[in-house]
Structure 1
């Protein structure tokens, strides 16, 4: 035991040598010996060094005083501070108090100084520790099915996501969170049981149509002054919650269900050719995102006059009609099937099925000019295979039966006309000069009459 006592005396002597550092602090008033005042200090075992061993500040440095409870959390500005992330506090209230004091200390320190940067790092770790105490890490299942949502546990540690239910940041480092694979709804694991809205994917699968009335507003009274989604009380005055209108549905929502997201409204596009993004609710945003590539707009029925005012749509329609005329050549051509030429349009499968249906993405790309360029390149590739590269496809061409001059004609050529009855191809000028009379149709009609004509009975019998 003697060596231990000797070491203890030596450490006390070293602490005594550093004792003059306390001269920087104001001296406490003398206390009468009859009424000693208790000093609220943490036990010495919780301090990173003895309380007497405070380092002396260098001259010219600002004095940074940190209470003992902050020092207990590893926030003391000294050379003997604990490593970042090592905190002894476990009480939520104590952590909140330490966070507040650390914020005040950051404001007092010189800007862009090393001490201020260290204090900011400690503040971040304190906040993470506080969040960890609020939401303890528990074992959660990897898959959760709720209201047709199919939630998968996320493994990403990103902190840039926001919970769609409580509208707060998802701390991926310390919180468990899920994402719906159908509508990409994100939320904390603790918010799963609070979800009341079914998955939008089911609506897209069963309904698959747009609201084509421009902002069909009915008024707050029709909603009983409640949010259209979560039924929380709302009003235009912002008491108790601000009412935000969705430009797609025309209904009003609270700030938790309407984040002022911007989206292109399909009704404004097909009626006004207006692509300006408008504010929509979170539910409408997810629905429009899932529907953007679905070909559900029949423009000839919704707004047939649109083709008279938008030249780009006329060009797109002509290219689509030509591609439909090329399709039979590819289906009967082995080389085209082996080269999978029709897969050039796999992102827009409806282009090889009809020329009437459009998606919102088609209209967006038409407005920006991307669709016209890409479709023209595909059209050129298809025509090159039929007219130049493939001998089998070349043999399926037509010769104008009215003039019997010129090259081999194809129905997708710009200077040709196609008979609506027999699909024969002629020069456009020849066809209209002949009053649109098709010699092939006349020949087929005579052949049918000769086949069905009955022979005359024998009169000598």
Structure 2
């Protein structure tokens, strides 16, 4: 039975550990400070990569069996740290977050005195008790053990999906991935920013477990997304494409990432936060599909302005249109993956044709078109037409052939410059007239 559990657990999956794990001596000493509630932890297991060390050194820790009076005392102490910390600083931000979690813990203690807690707030997580048994096998993110949903109570974070046993909820040391990604606001755009084991003091980046290559049980595992080393409990060899490798090299090969990295990638996979034009503009020259989508987005930006001003056209603004027609020109990993698969090309083509048909046939939208001043024909031009070009100064529209025939000079801009010169030219005859007021005074 032990061999089956060892082979089935994600802790030992794809590792160098043999089938029959060796016996581990269990310490009979009382639990250390790692058994804190996680609201405000200052022990060795705090995540030094996301929580400022100055905050952890305040030693605001609450035991899992803390009473109401102890929590209220911690709230008062945390308030003092909030007021004493500099405004808009990283310390104040984390102190305020801890203060909110302490208050939630206090409310949870009041509502569930002596009863199994339904909701728990720890380290940015918002846990809720799982009431129904899952059809698939689940593993605890803290101890990597199997969760027997029939006989064991468990919690799941409603923000990041962190799953743990009821007995492990007060001992977790990982900050909520939703909190981390909200603070950062973007993906890590450096390819595997590895610091080395020496930079981590030869300890796991999450739980501070000692790492060594001499022992297969504590062999370090590299996260290709964060560039940090983790133990087997915090790194389950989850496979995922890396945003930095995609943007810089268009490399979609899946690589091993830690649990925190896997959760952060899943949370922000559909969030448009990658500015490809700023990070790697040369990528458009090598990926034809990406360049085509980029041009289509420019047309969608203009179509969005037409449709937003029309009552009937606003119904065409689908979620895909809202994301790709946004003016921030950012992509999500889901968009880039759809470009690589070729599925986004078909969706954009259909969406563009439907929107173009409405704009050209709608009396209100078509009345906002342009006429070419060079050829003076009755063909209506729109900013999203491939055969039209717009002047960047005055927004006048021309056919591309007419624009090139006039030497890429805008006729309206030329008239405005000539008119400005006529206004700015002074009258030299009047400038030499001198008036002596004494001649008119008796």
Q: What range is the shorter-chain TM-score in? A: 0.5 to 0.7
Equivalence map 1:308-387=2 (5 Å): 308-337=285-314, 340-342=315-317, 344=318, 346-347=319-320, 349-354=322-327, 356-387=329-360
Is the contact between residue 317 and residue 355 of structure 1 (CA under 8 Å) also seen in structure 2? no
Task: State the SS of the aligned residue for 1:213.
Answer: coil
Count the aligned residue pairs: 319
State the 1:371 CA deviation. Answer: 1.6
Equivalence map 1:183-222=2 (5 Å): 183-222=160-199
Corresponding position of 1:260: 237
Task: State the SS of the aligned residue for 2:128.
Answer: strand
Distance 1:355 1:410 in 2: 21
> Do the aligned partners of residues 392 and 349 (structure 1) sit closer, same or farther apart at CA in structure 2, a change above 3 Å counting?
closer
Equivalence map 1:7-406=2 (5 Å): 139-158=115-134, 160-337=137-314, 340-342=315-317, 344=318, 346-347=319-320, 349-354=322-327, 356-388=329-361, 390-405=362-377
State the 1:263 CA deviation. Answer: 0.6
Distance 1:325 1:193 in 2: 52
Q: Deviations over 1:354-393 (max 9, x none)?
A: 26322222211111111222122111111111112x1111
Deviates more, 1:326-335 or 1:226-235: 326-335
Q: Which has the larger radius of gyration?
A: 1
Q: Deviations over 1:335-362 (max 9, x none)?
A: 223xx222x1x25644232263222222
Distance 1:147 1:249 in 2: 20
Task: State the SS of the aligned residue for 1:384.
Answer: helix
Corresponding position of 1:13: none
Which structure's relative contact order is higher, taking Cα pairs within 8 Å and 6+ residues apart? 2
Corresponding position of 1:88: none
State the 1:397 CA deviation. Answer: 1.5
Q: Deviations over 1:109-144 (max 9, x none)?
A: xxxxxxxxxxxxxxxxxxxxxxxxxxxxx9422211
Is the contact between residue 298 and residue 325 of structure 2 (CA under 8 Å) also seen in structure 1? no
Corresponding position of 1:424: 396
State the 1:406 CA deviation. Answer: 5.4
Q: Deviations over 1:196-217 (max 9, x none)?
A: 1211111111112222222222
Distance 1:251 1:445 in 2: 60
Is the contact between residue 126 and residue 158 of structure 2 (CA under 8 Å) also seen in structure 1? yes
Distance 2:149 2:143 in 1: 15
State the 1:242 CA deviation. Answer: 2.2
- For normalisation by structure 1, the TM-score amounts to 0.65
Q: Deviations over 1:216-253 (max 9, x none)?
A: 22322222222111111222233442221111122211
Is the contact between residue 139 and residue 145 of structure 2 (CA under 8 Å) also seen in structure 1? yes
Distance 1:176 1:140 in 2: 9
Is the contact between residue 147 and residue 197 of structure 1 (CA under 8 Å) also seen in structure 2? yes
| Structure 1 unmatched runs, 5+ | 1-95, 97-137
Is the contact between residue 233 and residue 240 of structure 1 (CA under 8 Å) also seen in structure 2? no
Distance 1:430 1:219 in 2: 60
Q: Deviations over 1:393-426 (max 9, x none)?
A: 1122222110112521112111111111121111
> Do the aligned partners of residues 348 and 170 (structure 1) sit closer, same or farther apart at CA in structure 2, a change above 3 Å counting?
farther
State the 1:444 CA deviation. Answer: 4.1
Task: State the SS of the aligned residue for 1:140.
Answer: coil
RMSD: 2.5
